[in-house]
Structure 1
Amino acid sequence: MKELQDILMLAIQQPAMNDQLKLAESDAVAVPDCLDFTLQRFTYDRPLPVEDVAMVVYQPAKRGQSAAIELRYCVAGSKYCTNPGCTDQVCAGGNKHDKETCNERVPSVDMITVRFQPGFIQSLQKGNTNSTLFELQSKKPFVKTITPCTKSKKVLEKMVHHNYEGILKNIFLQSKALELLLFSSDQFIQNDTDERYGCRFLTQMEDREKINKARDILLEQLDAPITIRDLARRVAMNECYLKKGFKATYGTTIYDYFQKERMEKAKGLLYEKGLSVSEVAIMMGYSCISHFSTAFKKHTGLKPCELLLR
């Protein structure tokens, strides 16, 4: 899912590590006339540098409908005992315990989405003519990114770990979702993320999509370098905006990102597939093996032949 990849790229700024994620559990709940809640919990074998990230996704009002708001979160979490009888408060053995000491505790990456129905947002704003939720006045859709506050993360953990079922589950999720909406609204007003990105134009969804498309093009053709001019043409964006927006989004230049992913792929072909240095150099688009070896050592600290000996 594209939305999943977008927020993962912000939370784990080492894309090659995303392959380590394994879907451990998922849940989807629709609270009628209120919201849709989805959870995807991923576990991993090796330590991952996860940065907690939240997105506020706004769709402007349409004829006969209020604006729609979606909150997306990617946060570091924990999967506890696999026994369904084990909760945050009581272990499967019946003893009280601290979550941090759970013997079956496994680190996770939790992807949580809360999408509020337009009618529900409209009902919240009835009678309030002086202001709107999140001070939303734009006629265009946009995405803004914030770092989840401590209060929001506590709410998210409760939404993931609870024992409610049926109608009680709906009531519980609705109450917690409103807390998230409240905390996010406070943060949104106080902490505009134009400063985080350093690019005001990136608050527009269509421009964010162009940056993501540029990244996808790079990943699709790691064996065929593309110029920034051609890349800008393919995504229909000004070269300067593309370079600035790419670095603001992914924390590195287009060239460095491409080289890093290129060498990571080469590393896999050498170490896991057992291909020869010359074979990998050709597959990665190098006509000169020495140039490939130089680039590989710069990225990994090893010559390709040294990796093969390990």
Structure 2
Amino acid sequence: MKELQDILSLAIPQPAMSDQLQLAEQDAVNVPDCLDFTLQRFTYDKPLPVEDVAMVVYQPAKRGQSAAVELRYCVAGNRYCQNPSCTDELCAKGQKGNCKEKVASVDMITVRFQPAFIQSLQKGATTTTLFELQSRKPFVKTIQPCTKSKSVLEQMVHHNYEGVLKHIFLQSKALELLLFSSDQFMQNDPDERYGCRFLTHMEDREKIEKARSILLEQLDAPITIRDLARRVAMNECYLKKGFKAMYGTTIYDYFQKERMEKAKSLLYEKGMSVSDVAILMGYSCISHFSTAFKKHTGLKPCELLLR
């Protein structure tokens, strides 16, 4: 799912690490005429450097449809004991934080407010416009979830309500998230997260993502930044600046890292020869490939084969 990868790339900057995630549970709730709530909880075996991230996603009004707002969160959490008949004293007292069976998790939480509900909130308002909803362009703004927001998220994930009470509970908590996120959205500089104002627009972020996909699709055929910029219809300067802001490295360094990781896999897992891998990776000179490989891995290709 594109939205999942979008926020995961911010919460877990190293793409390979997100592959360690295992879906442990999920939930989807529709509160009629109000919102849609989804939860995806992932667990992992090895420690992961998870950075709590929130995104405000805005889609402008279309013909016959009001503007829509979506709040996405990726936060480090814990999966607690799921046994309702558990006699553990701590669980019985509701002190889940000390649950002996808790497992570290990455929680993906999405709250999508239905357009009519957002419109009803703004009726009669004369001063504050929620999330600048008069904008004609879609945008995405990334913020750091505040302490209050993370507390609310914890409550939304761990509760015992069912049926209509669950709907009431989720609606009340979702409104708190909307309030806290709105405060941050209006107070923080749009450049706070990336240092690139243009990346607050969804179209520009999608172009950067497309550029990354192109790089990964042709690791054996290096492409110039000029050609890459042309293929995604973006200014070269914006492409370079935006790519580094989103992925924390230059286009060239990212390409080389992924290229050498693929070469490493071909050598170590497939057992291919150094010369064959060099050719597959687009190198006409084996010594140049060997130098690049050692710079990335600390080993010469032939040394890896001996292991």
TM-score, normalised to structure 2, is 0.93
Residue 85, structure 1, aligned to residue 92, structure 2 = no
Aligned 8 A contact 2:90 2:96 in 1: no
Provide, for residues 253-295 of structure 1, a one-character-per-residue CA deviation record: whole Å limited to 9, x for no partner: 1111111112222223333333333333233222222222211
SS, match of residue 126 in structure 2: coil
Aligned 8 A contact 1:270 1:280 in 2: yes
Shift of 1:309: 3.5
Residue correspondence of structure 1 range 80-119 to structure 2 within 5 A: 80-81=80-81, 83-85=82-84, 92-97=86-91, 98-119=95-116
For 1:297, the aligned partner's letter is: K
SS, match of residue 209 in structure 1: helix
| Aligned-partner Cα distance in 2 for 1:129–1:188 | 19
For 1:28, the aligned partner's letter is: A
| Aligned-partner Cα distance in 2 for 1:288–1:100 | 57
Superposed CA RMSD: 1.7
Shift of 1:64: 4.0
| Aligned-partner Cα distance in 2 for 1:268–1:43 | 25
Residue correspondence of structure 1 range 260-271 to structure 2 within 5 A: 260-271=257-268
| Aligned-partner Cα distance in 2 for 1:163–1:170 | 12
Aligned 8 A contact 1:146 1:193 in 2: no
SS, match of residue 283 in structure 2: coil
18-27 or 93-102: which moved more?
Answer: 93-102
| Aligned-partner Cα distance in 1 for 2:286–2:100 | 49
Residue correspondence of structure 1 range 178-193 to structure 2 within 5 A: 178-193=175-190
Residue 220, structure 1, aligned to residue 214, structure 2 = no
Structure 1: give runs of 5+ residues left out of the alignment. Answer: 87-91
| Residue identity (%) | 85
| Aligned-partner Cα distance in 1 for 2:204–2:293 | 33
Partner of 1:89: none
Residue correspondence of structure 1 range 15-34 to structure 2 within 5 A: 15-34=15-34
Partner of 1:167: 164
Residue 305, structure 1, aligned to residue 302, structure 2 = yes
Aligned 8 A contact 1:16 1:261 in 2: no
Shift of 1:101: 4.0
Structure 2: give runs of 5+ residues left out of the alignment. Answer: none
Count of residues paired in the alignment: 304
For 1:230, the aligned partner's letter is: D
250-259 or 154-163: which moved more?
Answer: 154-163
282-291 or 240-249: which moved more?
Answer: 282-291
Partner of 1:201: 198
Residue correspondence of structure 1 range 1-310 to structure 2 within 5 A: 1-81=1-81, 83-85=82-84, 92-97=86-91, 98-310=95-307
| Aligned-partner Cα distance in 2 for 1:46–1:274 | 27
| Aligned-partner Cα distance in 2 for 1:106–1:283 | 42
Provide, for residues 144-177 of structure 1, a one-character-per-residue CA deviation record: whole Å limited to 9, x for no partner: 1101111111111111122222111111111111
